[in-house]
Amino acid sequence: MSDHWKYLKEAFWLLLALPEVVWNCKYLLEWAAQKERIYGLGYSVTLPRMRLIEISRPDWIEHVQKTNFQNYVKGSLFQEVMSDVFGQGIFVTDGAVWKSTRQVTTRIFNSQNFKTIVTPAIHKTLRSLNDLLEFKAEQRSIVELDDLFHKFTLESFLKMTFSRESGSLSLNKTDQNTTDPFANAFDFVQKQMDLRFVFTAFSIPLGRLLSKRPKTISARKTLDEYVYQLIDSRRKSYNNEQNSYHDLLGLFMNFSDEKGVSLSRTELKDSALNLIIAGRDTTAQALSWTFFHLIEQPELLIPMRKEIEEILTTDDDLVDYENYKQFIHVLAVFHEALRLHPSVPKNAKFAINHDKLPDGPIVEPNDCLRWSDWQMARDPNIWGPDCVEFKPNRWIDEDGKLKQFGQWKFHAFNGGPRICLGMHLATLEAVGAIVEIVRRYDLKFEPGWLDNVPKIRNITPNSTEKTPRYGSSLTLPMAQRMRVILTRRAGGKGLEQSVRTK
């Protein structure tokens, strides 16, 4: 009888609430923000499988992610939705499994490996990007800049992780608009997982329907086969006593714990896929939103270019691990883009035991506490009355130094024990790409693009934000390609010498 009642309850909620979810599926961030403006922070919604509490407030997030960290977990919903793609990787797991995976990754992401593995990979990929942009400028062809950034970050991550190149930035590629099967599969499963989170919250069988679609199964198979092939090839070369590769996969394969146990084939695959989701989409999308605002406000380029010329005194110079923090105006623009368009725009944790948020709601076991960094960026109580405006100067103090906002206010890199391990890698890569493009090119939107591209939904009646609509994903892509025209800067530094002499 109890099971019968449970299914009736789920069916009732599906009939009552799911139509509204489906109607708003292209605007889930805005829809949630509108609900918060109506009902206030701390409001809750009871779903068939859980109660969802909205906690988009810095001190409440700090309580969940730091103060009472042990009481809040990713839980069964994350496992249900993400484990068939990301396995038991760092973004899915809790407890001892997460701690062990985190320790492995922490040991690998050190300053020495940044200098010897990460920076050379980024530099090599920047040169390929420069070659391609020079070709596009000469041809006066339209550049789908957001797609190009995804190719750039995937290429650099393949290089630093596997010592491989897909050739997606190569001038010899006949169609630069085609994407590699791995990238296509990756984009598809991310979109599916975003939808599965919503539907699984209402009904596990409904969420599983998405996971069993032939295209979903095929995409997962593509991802697994791609990474396993690289791992097996590397293991074979190790068995043949060839020299070990100096890349992130090599570091993972050479790792062993205090008992001398190495990572299994499956653990290596999970680690690689979890690194790629952190290294490809998040940085590419942050770069896309950065250049969207730079094209909108070209006056921001003046102090950036002055700064670049002062730090990089010759064409041969590139951004590296030693100097990337010196680019204050570039960092201010990048951080402001991340503030307004956080690469992971929303997240959630599940409560294990009873709790109470500071001056907030009571939390029961299995409650889902959901927050949105995107929503907080548009909260005047957090960022002031100009919160929806793109103002990089909010990041620069009166002495011309970069302001350091607390991790619970500027939460784009997460916080507490689960703070993003790759934030320095992402920042280094982003600053490198921004500098190379800004110093050499002027950019503008394709005529009519901005007027015609679908926009996000206004979250208040007096909102003036004209942001292009976001795509469905765990991260924050543009729903439609950002089409731009780039031209060589008049009097800009010569590209040929920078590329050819490296």
Angle made by CA atoms 482, 484, 489, in degrees to the nearest 5: 145
Q: Which helix (H) or strand (E) holds 382?
A: helix 380-383
- Structure-block tokens of residue 29: 């961030």
CA 152/CA 83 separation, integer angstroms: 27
Residue 10: which domain range? 2-500
The more confidently predicted of residues 21 and 188 is: 188
CA 327/CA 236 separation, integer angstroms: 43
CA 378/CA 389 separation, integer angstroms: 9
Residues placed in the known binding site = 420
**How do residues 335-375 score in pLDDT, each as one tens digit?**
999 999 999 999 999 999 999 999 999 999 999 999 999 99
pLDDT score of 9 more than 60: no
CATH number at residue 448: 1.10.630.10
Give the pLDDT of residue 7.
45
Q: What is the dihedral of CA 37, 41, 44, 45, to 10 degrees?
A: 30
Angle made by CA atoms 237, 268, 260, in degrees to the nearest 5: 85
Position 350: which residue type? F
Concatenated DSSP letters for 60-79?
Answer: HHHIIIIITGGGEE-HHHHH
Q: Is 163 left (phi over 0), alpha (psi -120 to 50) or beta?
A: left
Give the pLDDT of residue 424.
95
C-alpha atoms less than 13 angstroms from C-alpha of 94 in its C-beta half-sphere: 16
DSSP letter (8 states) at residue 282:
H
pTM for the model stands at 0.91
DSSP letter (8 states) at residue 455:
B
**How do residues 192-248 score in pLDDT, each as one tens digit?**
887 788 777 767 777 777 767 788 888 889 999 999 998 998 888 776 555 566 899
Give the pLDDT of residue 1.
42
CA 65/CA 71 separation, integer angstroms: 9
* Coil/strand/helix, residue 15: helix
CA 403/CA 426 separation, integer angstroms: 19
CA 110/CA 351 separation, integer angstroms: 33
Concatenated DSSP letters for 186-246?
Answer: HHHHHHHHHHHHHHHHH-HHHHHHHHTSHHHHHHHHHHHHHHHHHHHHHHHHHHTTPPPPS
- Structure-block tokens of residue 251: 């570091």
Q: Total domain count for the chain? A: 1
Strand duo 51-54 + 368-372: pairing: parallel
* Coil/strand/helix, residue 478: strand
Please tell me the total number of residues recorded for the chain in this structure: 502
- Cβ 332 vs Cβ 393: under 8 Å: yes
C-alpha atoms less than 13 angstroms from C-alpha of 501 in its C-beta half-sphere: 10
Give the pLDDT of residue 217.
84
pLDDT band at 500; cut points 50, 70, 90: very low
C-alpha atoms less than 13 angstroms from C-alpha of 260 in its C-beta half-sphere: 0
Q: Which helix (H) or strand (E) holds 54?
A: strand 51-54
Residues placed in the known binding site for heme = 420
29-33, 45-49, 77-81, 353-357: which range is least confident on average?
45-49
Helices first, then strands: H and E counts in the chain = 21, 10
Give the pLDDT of residue 447.
97
Number of neighbours of residue 162 by Cβ within 10 angstroms: 21
DSSP letter (8 states) at residue 347:
E
**How do residues 88-144 score in pLDDT, each as one tens digit?**
888 889 999 999 989 989 988 888 999 999 999 999 999 999 999 999 999 989 999
User: Angle formed by the axes of helices 265-279 and 423-438, to 10°?
Assistant: 40
**Nearest CA to 195 among 208, 177, 214, 179?**
208
β-partners of residue 488 are: 441
pLDDT band at 15; cut points 50, 70, 90: low
Concatenated DSSP letters for 252-264?
Answer: HHH-B-TT-PBPP
**By percentage, how much of the chain surpasses pLDDT 90?**
59
Give the pLDDT of residue 2.
53
- Cβ 382 vs Cβ 58: under 8 Å: yes
CA 74/CA 474 separation, integer angstroms: 15
- Cβ 269 vs Cβ 87: under 8 Å: yes
